[in-house]
């Protein structure tokens, strides 16, 4: 297979990231949501989720103040609302009210979750890597809330989910399962 050399590679040269909605709260109790296109699991034990956040984002101020955030995984039917949350600043509006979404109270963290998302995870910040115009924010997952309709026992049945992926300014859906780890021969 021939490969082409790319100097100064950027986003279009990497595969998609799962789209997440990061929820937070201000000092007056107003909830906020920001759409994040770059996120990943950073560690399995403890379970740490990381994402790239612009250093000048309003949401970044909020999560640094509380030391926590919610990770909410939307499904395809929530794409329009998810896109909206990435284009509009929470400084001037309440995105929950704008979208008719419900701030779900958390048990461990101060930030709310998004009740309508099939997966919501309460996270406490463990580290922030300062990288440039974006920082990598890492939070330990303390508690997860999973819609019973997508569960098979205590595990998520991915065939019942319809997540969205962000890929260099485009949204994509997830395809089918093709193999288990260690079973791709």
pTM above 0.95, yes or no: no
Is 123 among the domain residues? Answer: yes
CATH no. for residue 54?
2.30.110.10
pLDDT at residue number 102 = 98
Strand 48-54 and strand 39-43: the pairing is antiparallel
Burial class (CB in 10 A: 0-12, 13-18, 19+), 47: middle
With beta carbons less than 8 A apart as the criterion, state whether 25 and 112 touch. yes
Show the domain range for 140.
17-173
Is 58 among the domain residues? Answer: yes
Give the Cα separation of 71 and 69 in Å (integer). 7
The 10s digit of each residue's pLDDT in 75-84 is 989 999 999 9
Is 160 among the domain residues? Answer: yes
With beta carbons less than 8 A apart as the criterion, state whether 22 and 79 touch. no
Tally of domains within the chain: 1
> Percent of the chain scored above 90 by pLDDT?
68
The 10s digit of each residue's pLDDT in 116-171 is 999 999 999 999 999 999 999 999 999 999 999 989 888 888 888 888 888 777 88
Is 4 among the domain residues? Answer: no
Is 185 among the domain residues? Answer: no
Is 12 among the domain residues? Answer: no
Is 10 among the domain residues? Answer: no
């Amino acid at each position: 297979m021939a490969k082409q050399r790319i100097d100064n590679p950027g986003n279009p040269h990497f595969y998609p990231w799962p789209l997440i909605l990061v929820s937070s709260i201000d000092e007056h109790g107003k909830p906020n949501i920001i759409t994040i296109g770059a996120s990943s699991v950073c560690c399995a034990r403890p379970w740490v989720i990381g994402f790239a956040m612009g250093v000048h984002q309003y949401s970044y101020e909020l999560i640094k103040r509380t030391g926590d955030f919610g990770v909410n995984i939307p499904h395809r039917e929530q794409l329009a609302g998810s896109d909206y949350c990435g284009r509009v600043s929470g400084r001037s509006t309440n995105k929950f009210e704008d979208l008719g979404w419900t701030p779900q109270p958390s048990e461990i963290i101060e930030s709310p979750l998004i009740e309508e998302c099939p997966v919501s995870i309460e996270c406490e910040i463990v580290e922030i890597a300062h990288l440039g115009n974006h920082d990598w924010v890492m939070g330990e997952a303390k508690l997860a809330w999973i819609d019973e309709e997508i569960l098979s026992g205590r595990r998520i049945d991915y065939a019942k989910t319809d997540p969205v992926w962000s890929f260099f300014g485009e949204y994509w859906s997830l395809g089918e399962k093709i193999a288990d780890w260690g079973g791709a021969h």
